[in-house]
Homo-oligomer: A and B are copies of this chain.
C-alpha cells in the first residue's frame, strides 16, 4: 500500500514491487515493540557508543533477547558477542547499528539476508559530512530499499519506547512512562530534553531522534503515533520538513485523536542560515510554517519551555469543553498577572452566574473577591479551596480553572493539592495549578503531578498553556472545512501554460492571464476588439458604458503618447467621437502603422484596492495571500497567508484578520466593501493554483472591490509558471 500523499511511491522506492510494502505504517511497530534486538557494533569499551547502547537495552524493562554483534567476539556485559547477524539464534526484529559508517551498508545487506526489517543507524559519517558521506548514504538507502529494510537515521541518537522498555539509544537517562511522544530533529537537544524530563518527572511514551532522515521521517512517525494508543500528545522539535504536504495531511489525521505541538527552529532569517550549515536542508519560512500548522491543526510553541508546558497540559488534562476560564487564588498579585496574561492571549474570563456568587458567599469570608478572579484570601485553607473550586465548576459558564496558591501562614499546600486533584477529576473541568514557591509547595506539587493536574511555577505559563488547549479545543470543534468548490476550464488554462512554455517564457502574458482568470471565474474587465465604428458600438453596448477605447495596432507601443487612448466614454455619441479622434490622430501621427481597429474595455469602477496572491513554498506548496493593496502591503506588510486549497471559511477569516480589516467593513460612514466578492476570488485563485502545479506565483494587484453587492474585478493579473 502506498501512503505517500503524491501517490508516487514507486518512483521513490525504486519501482520494486516488494519494496512498496515497506511504506506500510505498521512496520514501524518493529521499531517501537520489537520482540528481539541486535546491537551491531556492541562494544566492551565503556567509552564507546556501542557499549552505551547495548547497556541501555539491557538496563531497561525490555524483556526480549538483546544480542551483541561484534566480529571481534568476546563477552560484553556478560553476553557472548556474535560475529554477525547471521550467527544469531533468532532473527532480530530490530537492528541497532553503531559500526563505522563505511561498514553500515554491509550490515544493512545482512539485515536484508536474515530478514530484519527495521534498523536504527546511530553511526555518523553520512550526508552531514559532505559529498562522500552523501554518496555513502545513498548507497545505504539503495540497499535498504532493495532488501525492504526501514532505516531510522543515520546520524541519530536512537529511539526509546517506555512501554516496551526499549532504550535503543545512547541517551544516559530513561524517561518515565507517560503519554508524550517526542520526535526531535536534533539529537543533542533530544538528550538535553530527556535529561530535563527525567528531572522534571515528565513521562514519555516514545522518543525518536530522526538524524539525517534518510528514510523514516517526521511524517512516518506522525502516522505511526496516530494509531498508537499510548500516545496522548505528539511533541516535535523540527528544523526542516521535507514532504510538507504529506506532513500536513498526516498531522491533520493525527489531531483528530491527539494534539500535535511543535517547536520549529530556523524559521527566522538568521536561524535559517544556521539550519543550512547544520543539516544541509532548506528551512521553510515562518509564514509557511504558520500556514501549514494552521492547515494541519498543529499547535506552535515559541520555546522549548513552552513546548513541554503545552505537552504537560495536553497530556494530563482534558480539553476545555467551552471558553469560560476562572482564576481561583489566595493572593491578588499572581491573579492579576494571570488576568493580564489571559487578556494578552485573548482567553476569556467567565462571568459568574448570580447563583455561583451566592454559593461562594455562603462558604467564603465576606472580604473575599466573588468575581473572577475569585480571591479566597491569604488565610485560605484546603477546604476553602476545594469548596470554591467545586462551586465554580458547577457554573455552566466555567470550563477551565487556573488554581493559584501562594504559601502563606495558613496555607495547606498538600491537602489543597489533594482537594484540587479530586475536584478536577470529579468535575471534569480543565484544571491547571500554579503552586508558587519552592520548598513550601514541593510536596503539594508532587501530589498534583500524581493526580494528573499539571503545575506551573508562574501564572503566565499556566495561562499560556490553557490558551493553547483552548485554541485546540476550538479548532477541534470546528466542522471539517472543505476546499471551495470551484470547477474551472482546465483545457483553457492548460493551453495558456503550454503556449507560454512553447514561447520559452516563465510567465503568462497579460491577455492570456486574463483568459486564465476567466477560465476560473475570476472577474476581469470585459474587453474586445472592434475593427470599425459600428462593431465598436455593438461591443460597447454589450460590455456596458462607461468604456475605455484604445487603438489596436501591433506597431503602436505607446498608445497614450500619440493620443491613442480615450477614457470615460459614457455613451454612443462619445464613442463615435472617440473613434474619430483616435483614428484621426493615428492617421496624422503614425500614418504607416497597421491598424486592426480599437479595443473596447470596460471602464473599471471605483472601489477599494486589495491584493490576492499566491506563492509556492518548496515544501508546503502553494500559499494564498490576501491583503489591502498599496502601502498596506508594501509598508505595513499587513497580509495573511493560508495553504491552498482554502475553504470558504478560511477565505472569510483571511479577509477578517488583517489589521486593516475595518477598512473593508466600512469606517467613517463608508459603505462596507463587497467581502463576499473577495472571498469568492480567493476561493477561485486557490482552486486554480491547486489544479495547476505549474503556477509558481500569481498576483492579482489590485483587485478592485466595490461596495457590498457591487462585486470585485481583477484589474491586473500576473502569473508566473515553472521554468
Contacts and interface: CB of A to CB of B under 8 A. Distances in A.
Interface of A: 47, 49, 52, 129, 170, 172-173, 184-189, 191-196, 198-200, 237, 239, 263, 265-271, 273-275, 277-279, 302-305, 330-337, 339-344, 349, 367, 369, 371, 373, 375, 378, 406-409, 436-441, 457-461, 631, 634-636, 638, 659-660, 662-663, 667-668
A191 B437 contact: yes
A438 B191 contact: no
A628 to B, nearest CB: 10
A395 B60 CA distance: 47
A159 to B, nearest CB: 17
Contacts of A186: 331-334, 336
B237 A189 contact: no
A339 B268 contact: yes
A336 B438 CA distance: 32
Contacts of A459: 304
Given A186-B331, A304-B460, A636-B660, 19 more contacts: A49-B409, A129-B367, A192-B331, A198-B439, A199-B439, A237-B333, A239-B332, A265-B336, A265-B340, A268-B340, A270-B340, A270-B343, A277-B369, A277-B375, A278-B332, A278-B375, A304-B337, A304-B459, A634-B668
Q: Is the interface of A mostly helix, strand, loop or mixed?
A: helix
B437 A195 contact: yes
A326 B490 CA distance: 54
6 contacts: A186-B333, A200-B438, A270-B342, A271-B340, A273-B339, A305-B458
A336 B239 contact: yes
B334 A303 contact: no
A323 to B, nearest CB: 14
A291 to B, nearest CB: 18
A499 to B, nearest CB: 33
Contact of A336 (B274, B342, B375, B659): B274
Contact of A631 (B275, B278, B458, B660): B660
Nearest to A440: B195
A472 to B, nearest CB: 22
B192 A334 contact: yes
Nearest to A307: B458
A49 B340 CA distance: 31
A267 B47 CA distance: 56
A468 B638 CA distance: 28
Contacts of A638: 636
Contact of A268 (B193, B344, B373): B344
Contacts of A189: 331, 333-334, 337, 406, 436
Given A270-B349, A660-B631, A660-B635, A303 B458 contact: yes
Contacts of A195: 407, 436-441
Pairs A-B, 6 closest by C-beta atoms:
A186-B333, A199-B438, A188-B331, A195-B437, A192-B436, A189-B333
A437 B268 contact: no
A662 B440 CA distance: 54
Contact of A305 (B270, B344, B461, B659): B461
Nearest to A308: B458
A409 to B, nearest CB: 6
Contacts of A237: 333
Contacts of A279: 332
B344 A667 contact: no
Contact of A662 (B185, B192, B375, B635): B635
Contact of A274 (B304, B305, B335): B335
Contacts of A304: 334, 337, 458-460
Contacts of A336: 186, 239, 265-266, 271, 274-275, 278
A460 B305 contact: yes
B436 A667 contact: no
With a 10 A CB-CB cut-off, give which of A129, A273, A662 has the most chain B CB atoms.
A273
A286 to B, nearest CB: 9
Contact of A172 (B269, B332, B407): B407
A212 to B, nearest CB: 12
Contacts of A188: 330-334, 378, 406, 408
A379 to B, nearest CB: 10
A52 B410 CA distance: 12
Contacts of A371: 277
B409 A170 contact: yes
Contacts of A332: 186, 188, 239, 274, 278-279
Contacts of A341: 303
Contacts of A196: 436-438, 457
A466 to B, nearest CB: 15
A267 B460 contact: no
Nearest to A173: B439
A194 B461 CA distance: 19
Query: Max chain B CB contacts within 10 Å: which of A186, A337, A371?
Result: A337
Contacts of A303: 337, 341, 458, 460-461
